[in-house]
Amino acid sequence: MRDKKFVIALIVIVVLALALSYVVFIGPKIQGYLINKQTRAQENIVKTIIQVVDQQGYVVLGDGNDSVVLIKYQPPAQQQPQQEQELSNQEGA
């Protein structure tokens, strides 16, 4: 009877040790791997969307009734300082 209790206690200790090692060592590595893969997938999706916008000029993202149109933004040329100089020249004359 005493040997059975010892074996049961030993099994419980081994199971707890395995659970603790999983929580401390193995679990975080698996989570880190999964997060790394998810981050890479998100980066690839964003790069692909940007490539489509560069090629087509726009892309439509939608899920049923809602949609978003992404358009390539081209900021206006730097003409404002030149226009300001022309205005100041006209005012001075």
Give the C-alpha separation, 8 to 11, whole Å: 5
Total structural domains within the chain: 1
- Over residues 28-43, the pLDDT tens digits come to 999 999 999 999 999 9
Q: According to the model, what pLDDT value does residue 63 have? A: 86
Count CA within 13 A, CB hemisphere, residue 73.
Answer: 3
DSSP string for residues in 32-63: HHHHHHHHHHHHHHHHHHHHHHHHHSEEEEEE
Q: According to the model, what pLDDT value does residue 79 have? A: 61
- Over residues 50-90, the pLDDT tens digits come to 999 999 999 999 988 899 999 988 888 776 555 566 656 66
Domain containing 64: what range? 2-92
The SS3 of residue 93 is coil
